[in-house]
Amino acid sequence: MDDILLKYLPERAVDPCLQLIKESEVNLKIVNKRVTRHGDYRRLPNGLHQITINATLNKYRFLITLVHEIAHLAAFQQYGRHIKPHGAEWKKTFQYLMVPFIRPEVFPSRLLPILAKHFRNPKASSDTDAHLSIALKQYDPQHKDKTYVFQLPMGSVFRIYNGKLFKKGNKRVKRYECVEIATGKVYLFQPNAEVELIRN
**Does 153 lie in the same domain as 112?**
no
Give the structural domain span for 184. 146-199
**Does 137 lie in the same domain as 154?**
no
- Which helix or strand (DSSP H or E) is residue 179 part of? strand 176-180
Angle between helices 59-79 and 88-98 (to 10 degrees): 130
| pLDDT for position 114 | 95
**Does 108 lie in the same domain as 175?**
no
| pLDDT for position 134 | 87
Nearest to 168 by CA among 193, 139, 141: 193
Contact 86, 124 (CB under 8 A): yes
| pLDDT for position 158 | 95
**Does 124 lie in the same domain as 64?**
yes
CA atoms within 13 A on the CB side of 123: 12
**Does 154 lie in the same domain as 123?**
no
**Does 151 lie in the same domain as 137?**
no
**Does 193 lie in the same domain as 165?**
yes
Strands of the sheet containing 49-54, edge to edge, are 26-31, 49-54, 39-43
Domain's final residue, options 93, 121, 141:
141
Q: What is the pLDDT of residues 123-157, one digit of tens each?
A: 888 888 888 988 998 898 766 667 889 889 999 99
User: What pTM was estimated for this model as a whole?
Assistant: 0.79
**Does 173 lie in the same domain as 120?**
no
Contact 40, 17 (CB under 8 A): no
Domain's final residue, options 141, 159, 175:
141
Residue 192, domain CATH = 2.30.30.30
**Does 135 lie in the same domain as 51?**
yes
| pLDDT for position 144 | 63
**Does 43 lie in the same domain as 114?**
yes
Residues of the chain with pLDDT under 70: 1, 142-145
Domain tally, the chain = 2
How far is the C-alpha of 1 from the C-alpha of 7, rounded, in Å?
10
Cα 123 to chain centroid distance, Å, stands at 9
**Does 159 lie in the same domain as 81?**
no
**Does 157 lie in the same domain as 59?**
no
